[in-house]
Chains A and B, each alone.
Chain A
Amino acid sequence: MRFIFKTDYRQDLRLFRHGGYVFWYGLLGVALVAAPFMLSEYLISQLHFICIYSIVGFGLMLLVGFTGQISLGHAAFLAVGAYTEALLQGAGMPLWVSLPSAALLSAAAGIIIGIPALRLKGIYLAIATLAFNVIVEEIITRWEGLTGGNGGKHVKAAELFGFTFDSDVSFYFLCLSLTVLSCLMLINLLRSPTGRAFVAIRDSEISASCMGVNLAKYKTMSFALSAALTGVGGALYAHKITFISPEQFTLLASIELVTIVIIGGIGSLHGAVFGAAFIIVLPQLIAVAKDYLPSGAAGISGLQAIVFGVLLVAFIIFEPMGIYGRWLKVRTWFELFPFYRQGMFRRQKSYMKSERLR
């Protein structure tokens, strides 16, 4: 374990806290750049998905993990991003126009849903966002002239300055760079006043407001940013799948997105990536496991949904901090070896919380 002796305020603002971080993240960077040249086509394709879902995970994490608002309608923003991208590209726009447009339009949708969110909390907000999801899905289905309705819409490979991202490797680097970019922007945000205002709203709205945080403004901002990131993810998703239709953006898709942040670990950017990797890898694991299951069990339709559901519940009960929380514990165990104690991460109960103003 390394203790950092702080002598300068700049140390608190660093991206990497010490040399160890530089080394490990450097190694990760090298591995990520080398990956497409070493892996099979299939695995690269899985990496595409992990990147895309990481971006969406970042967006949802900002909202759920850092601002404390719930959304069961994020697939709607994914849809807005995907269709904007598909339509603009279909109209011959290059990526540098269509991608920001996808982000902006999703952000606008985020603001629309953010406004009722100012008055709703918890389960009621969940219901409102859920309704929003259904509305968007319905609009896409019905507005056949624009979206192709249930027939769906084909999407070509992305194009930027004459370069076409039609190979697995080039598309991988597009996804990876956008993932890294959005991650860096979120880190920047979280170490500056806006990010702190979000966290303040999450932990205590009443005192955030007494510290001068404009709740309406920051909640809306959080919804907009979250939706924008999800929209970018949606645009990439459209290019990845090459065919989009309303049934990809149902309530189930939204729940899958929520699963990313909960299983990954609420309140950490690592968690978003872990969660994204998890929901991409899990179906593969289930597919492999099917070979070893008795034929009766393997044939159950919706086996995947059952496993997802059970895991979600298990994580909420046994590891509320998700995979990232587990990782922290493992790391601490090694750092402190042999002095790790069982109760080190047990949360203290706070009995003295003001209930009067809720």
Chain B
Amino acid sequence: MSFFKVEDLGISFGGVRAVDAVSFEVNQREVYTIIGPNGAGKTTIFNLIGLLYPASSGTIRFEGRTLNGLAPHRVSQLGIARTFQNIELFEHATVLQNLLIGRHRHRATSLWQELLFTPAVRRAELAQREAVEKVIDFLELAHYRDGLVAGLPYGVRKVIELGRALATEPKLLLLDEPSSGLNPEETNEMAFWIEDIQKELGITVLMVEHDMNLVSRVSDRVLALNEGRVIAEGTPAEVQSHAAVIEAYLGGND
């Protein structure tokens, strides 16, 4: 049984075949990166995996379970967390609250208990906070802990979003362009974190990324897309030197 497998995945928007017969397989504890020029369908694949769009063809399997047809919130409950390219944080809440929402799938108390804030809720809340504090330590967010997200710089928000995804304790982490909008120093830090997430936390990472330095540094395998189709798959070096990839990015000779 494969850990995460996408088979023959496709979706059309009107006449545009945004993703066309894409198949790939991600092994446990690996960093798998999807690259491709703008409009290649990378983020669309993420939205298909997150079930935000219904796939018009193909199947998505996670730990032997087919995801197609489930409600979007079930994806996270199965252990898949994601970040967004343009950051979708809860702006008017503190960093701590944002991370606590990441703990939602571990919620164990009922509405009635919560209305009365019974000892069980208190215990659960303390446990959630302890779990969140580990993420805060891991990503060095202690300084921003009680600050409102709305007032924080872009680079920090990016890390908070990563933290929120980690707070769900995922088995598979989807990162949509983790380095977009970051300066080289921040990108460097992001690379360290992705390495740590893979090696220390043992979380599998599926990533969409443009920065080839980051890609070749952290990825075990790379999938190249163009116009919704797979054009190459292999190690970062193999894919980078693949003729079809060079053609997709730079144009052909003709």
Task: Identify the A interface with B (CB < 8 A).
Answer: 9-10, 12-13, 185, 188-189, 191-197, 199-200, 202-204, 206-215, 221, 267, 347-348, 350, 352-354, 356-357
Contact = CB atoms under 8 A, between A and B. Distances in A.
Given A213-B101, A354-B88, 19 more contacts: A189-B111, A191-B125, A199-B93, A199-B97, A199-B101, A200-B90, A203-B91, A206-B52, A207-B84, A207-B90, A208-B101, A210-B50, A210-B76, A211-B81, A211-B102, A213-B73, A347-B150, A348-B150, A350-B150
B168 interface: yes
B229 interface: no
A192 B92 contact: no
B105 A199 contact: no
A210 B72 contact: yes
Contacts of B85: 354
B122 interface: yes
Contacts of B88: 204, 206-207, 210, 354
9 contacts: A192-B117, A194-B111, A203-B90, A203-B92, A207-B84, A215-B73, A347-B150, A356-B43, A357-B52
Contacts of A214: 71, 73
B170 to A, nearest CB: 10
A193 B103 contact: yes
A13 B115 contact: no
B74 to A, nearest CB: 8
Contacts of B103: 193
Interface string B72-112: 11111100011011111111110011001111110101010
Contacts of A13: 122, 125-126
A189 B115 contact: yes
Given A9-B129, A12-B129, A199-B97, A194 B73 contact: no
A9 B130 contact: yes
Given A10-B126, A203-B91, A213-B73, A196 B52 contact: no
Nearest to A357: B52
Interface of B: 43, 47, 50, 52, 71-77, 81-82, 84-93, 96-97, 100-105, 107, 109, 111, 114-117, 121-122, 124-126, 128-130, 133, 150-151, 154, 164, 168, 181
A238 B8 CA distance: 62
A115 to B, nearest CB: 16
Nearest to B118: A188
Contacts of B96: 12
A248 B122 CA distance: 42
A213 B125 contact: no
A203 B104 contact: no
Given A185-B115, A188-B114, A192-B121, A210 B75 contact: yes
B132 to A, nearest CB: 9
A189 B52 contact: no
B162 to A, nearest CB: 13
B75 A352 contact: no
B97 A211 contact: no
Contacts of B124: 193
Nearest to A352: B86
Contacts of B47: 357
Nearest to B128: A193
Contacts of A352: 86-87, 154, 181
A347 B152 CA distance: 11
Contact of A267 (B92, B111, B154): B92
A347 B93 CA distance: 13
Contacts of B122: 13
Contacts of B91: 203-204, 350
Nearest to A13: B125
Contacts of A202: 90, 92
A213 B102 CA distance: 10
A185 B117 CA distance: 8
Nearest to B107: A193
B59 to A, nearest CB: 20
Contacts of A354: 84-88
- Most chain B CB within 10 A, of A207, A211, A352, is at A211
A358 B67 CA distance: 23
Contact of B114 (A192, A204, A209, A347): A192
A203 to B, nearest CB: 4
Contacts of B117: 188, 191-192
Contacts of A195: 114
Contacts of A207: 84, 88-90
Given A13-B126, A353-B86, A354-B88, A194 B114 contact: yes
